[in-house]
Amino acid sequence: MIVVLFGSTGDLAKRMVLPSLYELHRRRLLPSEWTLIGNGRGDRTDDEFRSHVHDSIVEFGDDGPPSESDWQSFADRVHYAGGGFAVDDAGQLPDVIERARSEIGADATLVHYLALPPTTFAAYTEALAAHDLAAGARVVYEKPFGTSPESFTELDEAVHRALDEEQVYRIDHFLGKESTQNLHVLRFANGLFEGAWNAKHVEEIQIDVPETLDIADRAGFYDATGAFLDMIVTHLFQVAAEVAMEPPTSLGADDLLDARQAVIAAFRPLDPAEVVYGQYEGYRATEGIADDSSTETFVAARLWVDTDRWHGVPFLLRTGKMLDRSAQRLSVVFRRPDGPLTKLPADGTVLTFDLAGDGAIQLTLTVKRPGSGTDLDVARMEVPLDTLGDGLPPYARLIADVLRGDRSLFTRPDGLAHVWEVATPVLQHPPEVHPYPDGSRGPAAAADLAGPGGWL
């Protein structure tokens, strides 16, 4: 297998892709015969690129500096092809690929990873076809796959002129998280939850991704994109689909993709009146941000899923920068039952998936407080998933799936097309942007979207 990493010296490759490839090597999860070829405009020797890769692993890998033996066995398979890559000039890449094929086999599968800005995807895809590097290859596209309904359609058409859909892997690292994958297992393997996974028993779904970070390290990208496109249209819609899907025939790739697409098709277009935008007060003071920028750094939205299972259940999505805490949480808030007990807490029964880090599953229950009375209290139980085994980081998991040819955790164009339909009313009529203090919970107006228990 030959992995070609476009944008190999960029920030995404450094932080995510290179450390993930090394992690797969360290765990012996790469094919027995493989080569990594970094591509870029500049000219570097193999050793210079290897030094860059080593620095990336040391800075961003999960286990500190690699051991000498592991590093050397990894580095021996790392090469660099400079001179850029375009339709009219492929640079050094074809020659380096041919040398790799002579070493590991002429029939080695090509995996092209486009760790590049989305505006370059179409041009690089056309270049792959022009230089006979598309046939039989697998191509990984980073998010966002398009930045508007029109750009999505143009990109999708360009991709399918060069590739069959089975060759395309649109990556969304939220789908690679251990807790996201455990949604399926907890629900479908436990009758306790599958029987209650519907509007009769569920009050609301909350998908909440607040961040304490600012945008200083990527001001240009963020000001042109905003929180709605960066997080809601990509990650949080996909997580909502994981929760809302009907039971697939199996957890195989095609069945999962069909179930995910079917429920995304039932997402109701967002009502701008049910969307709150915000911008933290220090945003415009950031270098590279215009003094009059109206880019949103906070979004809260109420999404409706028009299926019998979820009729009347709001899916509450929220994310933002410079908030009071960082978290990645999916919470299923169950309805308070009818019965002899009154004054039950609004958040007394909640199933929460902590999507951050190694992940965890938490269950909140209403219980009787110990003592002679019948006062109620809330108790919490938690299962950290790392106590059950050593999971893979999301990027490493998804890259391993690409190498195996498993598309079950990747997005499909029909689903993405409907995602843009859902987002279009907000893109055409964006809500007013409310300022909010740095370190707060965001604009006060967002609180009105949540149910009686508020945002958890």
Strands 168-170 and 138-141: parallel
The DSSP H or E segment spanning 317 is: strand 314-320
12 marked among binding-site residues: yes
Distance separating alpha carbons of residues 358 and 390, to the nearest angstrom? 9
Task: Pick the more confident residue, 217 or 24.
Answer: 24
Q: Where are the domains of the chain?
A: 2-170, 174-449
**Whole-prediction pTM:** 0.90
Cβ pair 26, 18 in contact under 8 A: no
Consult the annotation and say whether 373 binds a ligand.
Answer: no
Q: What is the mean pLDDT of residues 337-358?
A: 83
CATH assignment of 174-449?
A: 3.30.360.10
State both tokens at 348: 């007394």
**13 annotated to a ligand binding site:** yes
Would you say 7 is a known binding-site residue?
yes
What is the distance between the alpha carbons of residues 19 and 65, in angstroms, rounded to a whole number? 11
Query: Taking Cα atoms as reference points, which of 154, 91, 152, 86 lies closest to residue 125?
Result: 86
Share the mean pLDDT of the chain.
92
Contact by Cβ (8 Å): 436, 277: no
Question: Cα separation of 147 and 224, whole Å?
Answer: 10
Reduce the DSSP state of residue 240 to 3 states and report it.
Answer: helix
pLDDT 10s digits, 70-112? 999 999 999 999 999 999 999 999 999 999 999 999 899 999 9
Q: Which amino acid is at 137?
A: A
Beta 35-39 vs 78-81: how paired, if at all? parallel
pLDDT-above-70 percentage for the chain = 100
349 is in an annotated binding site: no
Q: Which two tokens stand for residue 450?
A: 């949540």
**How far is the CA of 436 from the CAs of 301, 321, 351, in angstroms?**
17, 10, 30
Cα–Cα nearest to 215, from 226, 201, 207, 231? 226
DSSP state of 64: S
52 in a known ligand binding site: no
Residue 182 C-alpha from the chain's centroid: 15
Q: Give me 56's structure tokens.
A: 């990336």
Phi, psi of 361, rounded to the nearest 5 degrees = -120, 130
Q: Which CATH architecture has domain 2-170?
A: 3-Layer(aba) Sandwich (3.40)
Q: Provide the pLDDT confidence category of residue 207 given band limits of 50, 70 and 90.
A: very high
Q: What are the angstrom distances between the C-alpha of 402 and each of 113, 171, 253, 319, 395?
A: 10, 10, 12, 29, 11
* Nearest-angstrom CA–CA distance, 421 and 13: 31
pLDDT value at 346 more than 80: no
At 1-13, the pLDDT tens digits run 999 999 999 989 9
Give the CA count within 13 Å in the CB-facing half-sphere of 77: 21
Residue 289 CA to residue 122 CA, distance in Å, equals 28
Specify the DSSP element, H or E, that contains 390. Answer: none
| Planar angle of CA 350, 351, 356, nearest 5 degrees | 120
**Residue 153 marked ligand-binding:** no
For 311-329, the pLDDT digits (tens) are 999 999 999 999 999 999 9
According to DSSP, residue 371 is labeled S
| Given 52, 54, 235, 418, the catalytic residue | 235
Q: Any known ligand binding at 8?
A: yes
For residue 136, say whether it is annotated as part of any ligand binding site.
no
β-partners of residue 298 are: 278, 320
Based on its alpha-carbon atoms, the radius of gyration of the chain, rounded to whole angstroms, reads 23
pLDDT at 274: 98
Binding site annotation covers 25? no
Task: Consult the annotation and say whether 11 binds a ligand.
Answer: yes
Find, among 17, 243, 216, 3, the residue nearest to 104 by Cα: 3
Reduce the DSSP state of residue 419 to 3 states and report it. Answer: helix
CB-based contact 434:297 (threshold 8 Å): no
* Confidence at 181, pLDDT banded by 50, 70, 90: confident
The first and second tokens of residue 353, run together, are 């998936």
**Cβ atoms of 109 and 65 closer than 8 Å:** no
State how far the Cα of 408 lies from the Cα of 412, in Å rounded to an integer.
10
For residue 437, give the 3-state DSSP assignment.
coil
Tens digit of pLDDT for each residue in 354-409? 998 888 999 988 888 888 777 888 888 998 888 877 778 899 999 999 999 999 89
Residue 347 has pLDDT above 80, yes or no: no
Question: Is 10 annotated to bind ligand?
Answer: yes
Q: 179 or 429: whose pLDDT is higher?
A: 429
Same fold, 2-170 and 174-449: no
- Short-list 113, 137, 108, 135, CA closest to 124: 113
Catalytic site residue 311? no
